Amino acid sequence: MVIKVRVIPDSDDNEVVSRIGSVLRVRVVTAGISAGTSSDERLNQSLRRYLAEFFDVRTNFVNILRGAKGKEKTIEISGKSEEDLRSVMESIP
């Protein structure tokens, strides 16, 4: 499944704020990730981990296709059936 994500960085907690169609607005905590990485890399690592947890797949099944250096990203999620992933998406208000 391919989704679009609008990231809100440096939040107090990881959470999906809203969904419009297949576009998610996601708050992401970036603190606590190794200081040697750039802010974009920290944001991407946090986002991949959170989305993997949210969709209940392994982190390596969450791939950033476009937007690695921006706040608007195109992400591919695999590791579950399309139907299972859609049901998770539909559960978001």
pLDDT at 38 over 80: no
Q: Return the CATH class of domain 2-90.
A: alpha beta
**Tell me, what's the pLDDT at 21?**
81
pLDDT at 36 over 70: no
Tens digits of residue pLDDT in 17-35:
999 887 999 999 876 555 5
**Tell me, what's the pLDDT at 25?**
95
* Cβ burial 8-42 (10 Å sphere, 16+ → b, else e): ebebeebebeebeeeebebbbbbeebeeeeeeeeb
pLDDT at 81 over 80: yes
Mean pLDDT of 76-89: 93
Q: What percent of the chain has pLDDT over 70?
A: 92
Domain ranges of the chain: 2-90
**Tell me, what's the pLDDT at 34?**
53
